[in-house]
Amino acid sequence: MVRSPHPPRRHRPGRPPRLRTLSRGSYPEYRRIAGILRKETVGGGLLLVTTAVALAWANSPWQSAYFALRDLHVGFAPWRLELSLGEWAADGLLAIFFFVAGLELKREFVAGDLRRPASAIVPVVAACGGVALPAALFTLINLPSGGGSLRGWAVPTATDIAFALAVLAVISTHLPAALRTFLLTLAVVDDLLAIGIIALFYTDEINLAALGLALLPLAAFTWLVQRRVRAWYVLVPLALATWALVHASGIHATVAGVLLAFAVPVHRSEQAGGPGAGPGLAEHFEHRLRPISAGVAVPLFAFFSAGVALGGLHGIAAALADPVAIGVVVGLVVGKSLGVFGATWLATKSRHAELAPGLAWIDVFGLSVLAGVGFTVALLVAELGFGPGSAHDEHAKVAILTGSLAAAVLAAVVLRVRNRHYRRLAARERTSA
């Protein structure tokens, strides 16, 4: 445990103690989140590998084979399920990703440390700031162009938790655990905001009949999980039917993942001992599916989405000259960092709170810059906004890679300095022990 270089403030008699923000939280919650972070960090490494493979293949002499594989159509056309492999990855595999994110978010707000409004308000407000400012900056940059370019306003709003945690794992060994917990919570709320944006703003037409039919398997799934049924051979077909009908309705199919996740109970039933008897069904499903999400679903999506024919330095320069690309880079690097940091600062000050002992605002700023590492959801929104393979989509993907890399490098510079600071404190504590 690293001690603070400054003693905590003592409140005056008769006054309530100042609230603490970005604190470590309870020990059971800390252990649970530490396990999540380890899995997501491994997933981030796989994400880096598949992205590198996709980029190398798409810019090699064999690039035609990559694009032919990505655009290969398989499925059943009468059910509107004849999709390319790239679309299967975006619509199908990412539904698993959003299912896990939905489970995590529900558990945090029902049974985790965020069930207390005083603890939840700061990361929620920070996530909202990290969505609003990048979207505003992108819109301002692309207003003169107008037209279809404005459909990409949501591209720079999402944080990729796997990539961000992979960067954090490489550059830090002594940073306080509260920072990692804050980043995870921020990214989970960010994912929920992203799926709301996709459902509201990137749905052109809705087939009400298919959407109504989707409620039937969803209701059956809800009824069974509320009775703590775990039989995969019953639940998986209902989940697939819900996904297929939501997809047929015109709403992006990943929304089905969140709806199914919110149906899963967090606490154990009274017959099984109640909340204090151990992990509930939501945590059970999350434990089973997170390795599939982080290790298979997201890396495969990245493999089919990140392959962009860059065209050498001239092609990269031409892509980054597009206002869409400029808006994405500025949104990720400037908008995310200032949005998250500014919203955190305002939320803390408005609540008359202070940072937990041992933390400094430069730590929060470094984490805010790291939130600009956007990838998985950003790639998805670019495809939904501009259409797969379009010029704006290709330019947006180049900008996502460029902006995420720039944010990772800038965050590494800040957080490595802070990591050395905390390493010295830990060494001083061991010496004085």
- Computed over every residue of the chain, the mean pLDDT equals 82
Quick one: average pLDDT of 253-281?
78
CA 117/CA 121 separation, integer angstroms: 6
What integer pLDDT is reported at residue 220 of this predicted model?
96
Quick one: average pLDDT of 69-96?
85
Quick one: average pLDDT of 174-185?
77
Higher pLDDT, 365 or 114: 365
Candidate from 54-58, 190-194, 265-269 with smallest mean pLDDT: 265-269
Could you report the per-residue pLDDT of 293-322, keeping only the tens digit for each? Answer: 888 888 898 898 888 877 777 888 888 889
**Helix H or strand E segment including 21:** strand 19-21
Could you report the per-residue pLDDT of 29-64, keeping only the tens digit for each? Answer: 555 555 655 656 666 778 888 888 988 998 888 989
Share of the chain above pLDDT 70, in %: 85
DSSP letter for 93, please.
Answer: I
Q: CA angle, corner 338, sides to 337 and 342, nearest 5?
A: 120
Residue 199 and residue 251 in contact, taking contact as beta carbons nearer than 8 Å: yes
Q: Tell me the H-state helices in 202-330.
A: 208-226, 232-249, 254-263, 281-292, 298-305, 312-320, 323-330
Name the band, by pLDDT with cuts 50, 70 and 90, for residue 11: very low
Residue 189 and residue 212 in contact, taking contact as beta carbons nearer than 8 Å: no
Residue 41 and residue 169 in contact, taking contact as beta carbons nearer than 8 Å: yes
Higher pLDDT, 171 or 4: 171
Quick one: average pLDDT of 224-234?
90
Crossing angle of the two packed helices 254-263 and 208-226, in degrees rounded to 10 = 30
Share of the chain above pLDDT 90, in %: 27
Three-class DSSP labels, 357-392 = CCCCHHHHHHHHHHCCCCCHHHHHHHHHHHCCCCHH
List, in sequence order, every residue forming a beta bridge with 82; answer none if it has no partner. Answer: 75
59 contacts: CB under 8 Å, gap ≥ 6 = 309, 310
Q: Which of 28-42, 81-95, 217-231 is most confident?
A: 217-231
Residue 150 scores a pLDDT above 70: yes
What integer pLDDT is reported at residue 340 of this predicted model?
94
Quick one: average pLDDT of 90-109?
85
List of E strands, 94-245: none
Residue 75 scores a pLDDT above 90: no
Name the band, by pLDDT with cuts 50, 70 and 90, for residue 155: very high
Nearest to 404 by CA among 329, 339, 334, 341: 329
Name the band, by pLDDT with cuts 50, 70 and 90, for residue 353: low
Residue 20 scores a pLDDT above 80: no
Higher pLDDT, 140 or 431: 140
Phi, psi (5° rounding) for residue 341?
-65, -50
Residue 274 scores a pLDDT above 70: no
Nearest to 217 by CA among 197, 237, 242, 250: 242
Residue 365 scores a pLDDT above 70: yes
What integer pLDDT is reported at residue 6 of this predicted model?
46
Tokens representing 141 are 């940059």
What integer pLDDT is reported at residue 135 of this predicted model?
95
pTM: 0.81
Name the band, by pLDDT with cuts 50, 70 and 90, for residue 184: confident
Higher pLDDT, 237 or 186: 237
Name the band, by pLDDT with cuts 50, 70 and 90, for residue 132: very high
Residue 122 and residue 21 in contact, taking contact as beta carbons nearer than 8 Å: yes
What integer pLDDT is reported at residue 261 of this predicted model?
92
Residue 5 scores a pLDDT above 50: no
Candidate from 29-38, 116-125, 265-274, 411-420 with smallest mean pLDDT: 29-38
Q: Which of 19-28, 172-181, 358-367 is most confident?
A: 358-367
Residue 58 and residue 86 in contact, taking contact as beta carbons nearer than 8 Å: no
